[in-house]
């Protein structure tokens, strides 16, 4: 059994805090329009460097031999990862806020403040802060899409225009996929596609560990409303797939542990390229969605009523598409083989929808929404942004920024926007100060950190500017020009959900830090 090392209380927190500070300092330099890039050597263990301004990419690529530092780094890394999983943006903000909160919390503890009392105060302040952010949110307009995307892409207007153009070509129910191009140009292509809310059943099927997703080109697609109980059922089709040397995605009601474990072993050994996805929804609604997917991919749909069984499958019974991207909770199908059949399918759904609207006896509200969602999914399409660059390094860096811009825009469409440049957090700070006597006002330090870091990265005087701004009236600083402006009028905005989640996740890891009284690690190996 491996020997363990233990540290307690102040020593424990001090040991992990060094890892927190190093990682956060590396990430925070990327914040804002004047933030700088970070060069990652031996990116993805392939020996080539990677230049990025994406905070979560930097955080993922920092590892420590010192186990105590690694514990601290993993703690604050969690804030960034939770944020990116939900909204895909504001990962740097969550890291900056978390570091500021932890630093202030440690100062208060050293001055005799009880950590348990700090946790209670922090949670109470957070609840009020979240409500203020939600109240400050305003609906996004079409003209705001370019601004949101531009800001998230490090103030690159060309990317802002690109993302705005992509959203103009699809409905809000459409999706945007970002891919690498084979040329130096960056283009937007509109293809037939569909996205639904179910992801891979096991992380062992992931092909890209950085993005935590499984992506296949030209995969076969097997669709069934039944549960896959045994490997014997799908073994014949898997043997056919293996001989074709193509990947397969299996979408079914459920999968037994035996099936998942056997496929996992085959994936790890490089025998198969496969991913299992549970079918979305339930009952008859699940069946209808799977029928839509079958039409899109031109697959023969296996149902309880059909004569077709797993054992009877041939390659022609399987669907296919240009690409499938599967994340933890979403699956995106791009360029299905059956796209020519989509218009006819949409007309059938519209006809059924018209009947439902005329029938007073049915639960109209739910069914109307369900059928309208099906139509939107089928006609929304997929805007494929193919990112080019003169060099591979340039292409990858640009792709990271476009990914951030797309995620930020999507978040803004869902929950609206708030003033950017750290002004929303300062507005929250002012509101909290008016409600408290200031005792142990830990959250306020975190709320100030974004504005302070933006000023630092822009070489601006924080003290002087803080006297000129008026957060309550949305008056802040354009960090590019250094001018005092109305943030909403100037188009300097952030997605409300991103601002909220960055704060929530930062507070979450801070509360974990406050709870720490002992750290246990394997025997320490010095640098």
User: Which pLDDT value is given to residue 8?
Assistant: 85
Q: How confident is the model at residue 437 (pLDDT cuts 50, 70, 90)?
A: low
Question: Cα separations (Å) of 127 from 60, 74, 133, 228, 330?
Answer: 29, 25, 10, 44, 29
Distance, in Å, from the CA atom of 143 to the CA atom of 154, rounded to the nearest integer, reads 18
Burial class (CB in 10 A: 0-12, 13-18, 19+), 240: middle
Whether 360 shows a pLDDT value over 70: the answer reads: no
Q: What is the DSSP code (8-state) at residue 279? A: P
Domain ranges in the chain?
4-138+419-522, 139-189+381-415, 193-337
CA 502 to each of CA 15, 309, 322: distance values in angstroms, whole numbers, following the listed order: 25, 48, 35
Question: What's the mean pLDDT in 400-422?
Answer: 89
123, pLDDT greater than 70: yes
Distance CA 94, CA 110 (A): 24
**Segment among 40-44, 91-95, 165-169 with least mean pLDDT:** 40-44
pLDDT at 486: 96
> DSSP code of 360?
T
- Of residues 160, 132, 224, 164, the one with CA closest to residue 429: 132
Does residue 141 surpass a pLDDT of 60? yes
* Mean local confidence (pLDDT), 131-143: 90
Q: Higher-confidence residue: 44 or 311? A: 311
Backbone angles phi, psi at 493, to 5 degrees: -135, 160
Give residue-wise pLDDT tens across range 496-527.
999 999 999 999 999 999 988 888 888 654 44
Higher pLDDT, 481 or 1: 481
Contact 399, 178 (CB under 8 A): yes
Question: Which pair of tokens denotes residue 200?
Answer: 């891979």
- The pLDDT confidence band at residue 171, using thresholds 50, 70 and 90, is low
Alpha-carbon distance of 387 to 401, in angstroms, equals: 10
> Which residue in 34, 22, 50 sits closest to 397, CA to CA?
50
Q: Residue 501's closest CA among 124, 130, 57? A: 130
Burial (CB count within 10 angstroms: exposed 0-12, middle 13-18, buried 19+), residue 307? exposed
Say which residue the tokens 């933006």 belong to.
454
Q: How much is the average pLDDT of 433-448? A: 79
- The fold for domain 4-138+419-522 equals GROEL; domain 1 (1.10.560)
DSSP letter for 273, please.
-
Q: CATH second-level architecture of 193-337?
A: 3-Layer(bba) Sandwich (3.50)
Which of 508, 498, 514, 513 has the alpha carbon at shortest distance from 79?
508
pLDDT at 44: 59
- Degrees to nearest 5, angle at CA 469 with 445 and 103: 10
Look at residue 357 and tell me whether its pLDDT is greater than 90.
no
| Band of pLDDT at residue 212, cut at 50, 70 and 90 | confident
Q: Which residue has the higher pLDDT, 342 or 143?
A: 342
Terminal-residue alpha carbon distance, the chain: 23
Supply the pLDDT for residue 46.
54
Residue 45, pLDDT above cutoff 60: no
| For residue 307, pLDDT beyond 70 | yes
Quote the CA–CA distance of 389 and 391 in Å, as a whole number.
5
Helix (H, G, I), strand (E, B) or coil at 224: strand
CATH architecture of the domain with range 139-189+381-415: 2-Layer Sandwich (3.30)
For 308, list phi and psi in degrees, rounded to 5: -75, 135
State the Cα–Cα distance between residues 186 and 454, nearest whole angstrom. 29
Which pLDDT score is estimated for 396? Answer: 83
Per-residue model confidence (pLDDT) at position 527:
41
For residue 105, pLDDT over 50 is answered with yes
pLDDT in tens, 243-270: 899 999 999 999 999 999 999 999 999 9
**Cβ neighbours of 215 (radius 10 Å):** 19
pLDDT of 47-82, one tens digit each?
A: 668 788 888 888 888 889 888 899 999 988 888 888
Q: Of 176, 196, 202, 243, nearest to 405 (Cα)?
A: 176
pLDDT at 132 over 50: yes
Model confidence at 418: pLDDT above 90? yes
Element (H, E) at 244: helix 231-244
Q: What is the pLDDT of residues 7-27, one digit of tens each?
A: 888 888 888 999 999 999 999
User: Percent of the chain beyond pLDDT 70?
Assistant: 95
Give the chain's mean pLDDT.
Answer: 88
Q: How does pLDDT run across 281-297, given as a tens digit for each residue?
A: 888 899 999 999 999 99
Per DSSP bridges, beta strands 319-326 and 417-419 are unpaired
Highest mean pLDDT: which of 34-43, 138-147, 396-405, 494-503?
Answer: 494-503
> Residue 1 pLDDT > 70, yes or no?
no
What residue spans of 307-441 are helical by DSSP H? 342-358, 364-380, 392-415, 423-435
Tokens 């140009």 -> residue:
185
Q: What is the pLDDT of residues 442-457, one digit of tens each?
A: 899 999 999 999 999 9
């Amino acid at each position: 059994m491996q020997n363990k090392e233990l540290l307690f209380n102040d020593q424990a927190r001090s040991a992990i805090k060094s890892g927190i500070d190093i990682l956060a300092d590396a990430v925070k330099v990327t914040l804002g329009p004047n933030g700088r890039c970070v060069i990652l050597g031996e990116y993805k263990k392939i020996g080539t460097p990677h230049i990025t301004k994406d905070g979560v990419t930097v955080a993922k690529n920092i590892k420590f031999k010192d186990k105590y530092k690694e514990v601290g780094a993993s703690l604050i890394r969690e804030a960034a990862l939770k944020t990116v999983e939900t909204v895909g943006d504001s990962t740097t903000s969550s890291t900056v806020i978390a570091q500021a909160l932890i630093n202030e919390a440690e100062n208060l503890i050293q001055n005799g403040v009880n950590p348990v009392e700090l946790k209670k105060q922090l949670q109470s302040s957070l609840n009020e802060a979240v409500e203020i952010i939600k109240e400050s949110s305003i609906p996004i307009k079409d003209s705001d899409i370019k601004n949101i995307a531009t800001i998230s892409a490090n103030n690159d207007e060309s990317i802002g225009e690109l993302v705005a153009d992509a959203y103009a070509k699809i409905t809000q129910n459409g999706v945007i996929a970002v891919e690498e191009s084979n040329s130096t140009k960056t283009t937007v292509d509109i293809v037939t596609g569909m996205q639904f809310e179910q992801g891979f059943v096991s992380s062992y099927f992931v092909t890209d560990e950085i993005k935590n997703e499984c992506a296949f080109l030209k995969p076969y697609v097997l669709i069934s409303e039944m549960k896959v109980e045994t490997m014997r059922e799908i073994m014949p089709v898997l043997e056919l797939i293996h001989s074709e040397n193509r990947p397969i995605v299996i979408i079914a009601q459920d999968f037994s542990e035996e099936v998942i474990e056997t496929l996992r072993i085959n994936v790890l050994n490089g025998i198969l390229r496969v991913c299992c996805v549970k079918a979305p929804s339930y009952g008859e609604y699940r069946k209808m969605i799977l029928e839509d997917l079958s039409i899109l991919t031109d697959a023969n749909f296996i149902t309880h009523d059909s004569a077709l069984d797993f054992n009877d499958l041939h390659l022609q019974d399987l669907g296919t598409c240009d690409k499938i991207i599967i994340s933890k909770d979403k699956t995106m199908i791009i360029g299905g083989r059956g796209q020519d059949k989509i218009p006819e399918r949409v007309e059938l759904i519209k006809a059924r929808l018209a009947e439902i609207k005329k029938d007073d006896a049915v639960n109209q509200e739910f069914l109307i929404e369900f059928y309208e969602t099906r139509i939107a999914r089928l006609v929304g399409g997929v805007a494929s942004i193919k990112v080019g660059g003169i060099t591979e390094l340039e292409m990858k860096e640009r792709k990271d920024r476009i990914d951030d811009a797309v995620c930020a825009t999507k978040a803004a469409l869902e929950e609206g926007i708030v003033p950017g440049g750290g002004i929303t957090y300062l507005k929250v700070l002012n509101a909290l100060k008016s409600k408290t006597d200031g005792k142990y006002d830990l959250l306020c330090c975190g709320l100030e950190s974004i504005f302070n870091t933006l000023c630092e990265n822009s070489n601006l005087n924080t003290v002087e500017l803080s006297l000129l701004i008026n957060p309550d009236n949305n008056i802040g600083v354009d960090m590019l020009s250094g001018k005092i402006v109305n943030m909403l009028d100037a188009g300097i905005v952030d997605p409300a959900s991103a601002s909220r989640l960055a704060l929530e996740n930062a507070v979450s890891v801070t509360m974990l830090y406050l709870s720490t009284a002992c750290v246990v690690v394997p025997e320490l190996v010095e640098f």
